Amino acid sequence: MAKTIKHFINGGHVEGRSGRFGDVYNPATGEVSASLAYASAEDVDTAVKSSLAAFPDWAATPAPRRAGVVFKFRELVIQNIDTLAEIVGREHGKTIEDAKGSIQRGIDVTEFACGVPHLLKGELSPNVGGGIDTFSMREPIGVVGGITPFNFPVMIPCWMGVMAVACGNAFINKPSERDPSAPMFLAELWREAGLPNGIWNVVNGDKDAVNALVTHPDVPAISFVGSTLVGEHVYQTGTALNKRVQAFCGAKNHMVVMPDADMDQAVDALMGAAYGSAGERCMAISVVVPVGEGTAEALNERLVPKVAGLRMGPYNDPEADMGPLITAQAKARVEDYINQGVASGADLLVDGRGASLQGYENGFYVGGTLFDKVTTDMSIYKDEIFGPVLSVARANDFDAAVAMINGNEYANGVAIFTRDGDAARTFTDKVDVGMIGVNVPIPVPMAFHNFGGSKRSKFGDTQMHGPESIRFFTKMKTVSSRWPSGIREGVQYTMPTNR
């Protein structure tokens, strides 16, 4: 009998009162691995009340002591990385090594958060006029909601929640209902690290839980990662209620290959960026733009055998290059896009439809797929497929490649491969994209820099992790003070100045 995954509220596992449940699958086998309790608005309210009760004491805890709890949590994640990777692989489908890599990026942000006493320092301007000192300080904002996606069930809760908690907030995680076990395990590690009950809660479920969290009057801030359709809804709903919202959404990331590029290096980089994690990354390269016909032919000559030779396997197969997709619906969706690409006239060089593995015939596998001569009016170019499908969209020259990128509605990440420094510099100046790689295929910044796209890849003014996260998870107070020192200016009826 499949286990039941509950919610994590006020330091313990609770089933909730909705009476609604959903199935969690092992994507490698297609079998149901667990039953997940879905939260109702009432369950979300219980979590919020728990967080509200715990917040004042945690906010008043000195920042160095909060950092100590974060550091302990970091140590526990490192100690349990094998367990976490196993949990991620079993419910998401990505390989163990890929899972560990994503967990490490969560650890990186946790290490950054350990420096929160320095990051929260305010500013002081002594004697701005008339013996008045002005200083600013950052304070936590309260209960923060974090809506996290299925593709990084450890990394994204760390990117959001660790920073929120380090700043003195309470955090309520609504993870994806497709792979909830890893976020639940993180909550247990926080409890072991000494985080007070109620400061890290987890409510599982579907859109009912999302809407209850986004509209709750006692949740002043929401951080979201997921699809553009849902992210825009979260952003518009939350901001209409005067909440602080950041929503990181869909992508259609391009990689430009110039004629002078090291073609072998570019192809190796492209294979990992396009097909790693079966393409289920918001920073995956899904469009490669070779500049010039000769570049396109040289690229395809190397790509076709590598894509055709991609090895699929279950998450615990050490020889697998990529695992299955997350659900049967995801598999059907990706294969439908491949059908659309064929129907629209693109050249299908490698076909990943109908993939099946002996012993895993019911798994949600799609093989590596490669299209050539893709144009910007095709759905396989315009839409985020979120699967192992790479489109070759040829450009006649550098300017045409830049115009193609800037004409796309998404602007998460982009890369250029070239030996020409002038071309690289011009590219970084001209493309309207949030994160840019020069001979780097997936330009995700390290934890001490900021992560985020632009256009319809992000809603809101702030970025993820790095210094921007401190600004999102805190509010500013500015104080002007003067102590009696014999200064008497008498009554003033005009605007005070420093004159």
Q: Is residue 206 within 8 Å of residue 38, measured between CB atoms?
A: yes
pLDDT band at residue 131 using 50, 70 and 90 as cut-offs: confident
Strand ranges, E, within 422-464: 435-438, 454-455, 458-459
Q: Answer yes or no: are the C-beta atoms of 384 and 333 closer than 8 Å.
A: no
Q: What is the residue whose two structure tokens read 């969706």? A: 333
Phi-psi region at 131: left, alpha or beta (left = phi > 0; alpha = psi -120 to 50): left
- Can you say whether the dihedral through the CA atoms of 101, 106, 109, 110 is positive or negative? negative
pLDDT at 160 over 70: yes
Positive or negative: CA dihedral 91, 95, 100, 105: negative
pLDDT at 1: 58
DSSP letter at 260 equals T
Identify whether the C-beta of residue 458 lies closer than 8 Å to the C-beta of residue 434.
yes
Alpha helices in 172-262 (DSSP H): 181-193, 207-215, 228-240
Question: Looking at residue 71, what is its pLDDT?
Answer: 98
Query: With 70 as the cut, is the pLDDT of residue 213 above it?
Result: yes
The residue type of 272 is G
Catalytic residue among 158, 167, 249, 282: 282
Percentage above 70 pLDDT, the chain: 99
Q: What single-letter amino acid sits at 234? A: V
pLDDT band at 487, cuts 50/70/90? low
pLDDT tens by residue, 221-277:
999 999 999 999 999 999 999 999 999 999 999 999 999 999 999 999 999 999 999
Euclidean distance between CA atoms 28 and 324, whole angstroms: 6
Strand partners, 14: 7
Q: Are residues 91 and 153 in contact, defined by beta-carbon separation less than 8 angstroms?
A: yes
Q: Which residues of 299-323 are buried (b: 16+ CB within 10 A; e: fewer)?
A: bbebbeebbeebebbbbebeebbbb
Residue 498 has pLDDT above 70, yes or no: no
Give dist(CA 171, CA 202) in Å, integer. 8
* 3-state SS assignment for residue 368: coil
Give residue for tokens 């004697």: 127
Residue 203: closest CA among 138, 146, 285? 146
Give mean pLDDT, residues 24-40. Answer: 97
What tens digit of pLDDT does each residue of 284-343 get? Answer: 999 999 999 999 999 999 999 999 999 999 999 999 999 999 999 999 999 999 999 999
Query: What SS3 state is found at 143?
Result: strand
pLDDT for position 484: 80
Tens digits of residue pLDDT in 381-405: 999 999 999 999 999 999 999 999 9
Distance CA 407, CA 456 (A): 12
Strand runs labelled E in 313-394: 347-350, 369-372, 389-392
For residue 467, what are the β-bridge partners?
Answer: none
3-state secondary structure of 81: helix
- Residue 82 CB partners (closer than 8 Å, separation 6+): none
Q: State the pLDDT confidence band at 491, using cuts at 50, 70 and 90.
A: confident
Name the nearest CA neighbour of 148 among 113, 174, 183, 119: 174
Mean pLDDT of 141-148: 98
Residue 360, pLDDT score: 96
| 167 is annotated as an active-site residue | no
Q: How confident is the model at residue 496 (pLDDT cuts 50, 70, 90)?
A: confident
Strand partners, 8: 13, 202
User: H or E element: which one contains 106?
Assistant: helix 96-113
Strand partners, 206: none
d(CA 420, CA 288): 18
pLDDT for position 492: 78
Q: What is the mean pLDDT of the chain?
A: 96
Calculate the alpha carbon distances from 259 to 222, 254, 299 in Å. 44, 16, 10
Angle between helices 81-92 and 181-193 (to 10 degrees): 160
Residues in the chain: 499
Calculate the dihedral angle through the C-alpha atoms of 459, 144, 101, 3, rounding to the nearest 10 degrees. Answer: -120
Domains of the chain: 3-249+459-479 (3.40.605.10), 253-438 (3.40.309.10)
Please compute, for residue 402, the number of CA atoms within 13 A of its CA located in the half-sphere on the CB side.
13
Contact assessment for residue 364 and residue 314, using Cβ atoms and an 8 Å cutoff: no
For the segment 145-158, the average pLDDT, to the nearest whole number, is: 98
As a whole number, mean pLDDT of residues 349-356 equals: 96
Two tokens, residue 78: 């490192």
DSSP β-bridge partners for residue 451: 464
Backbone angles phi, psi at 343, to 5 degrees: -65, -30
pLDDT at 486 over 90: no
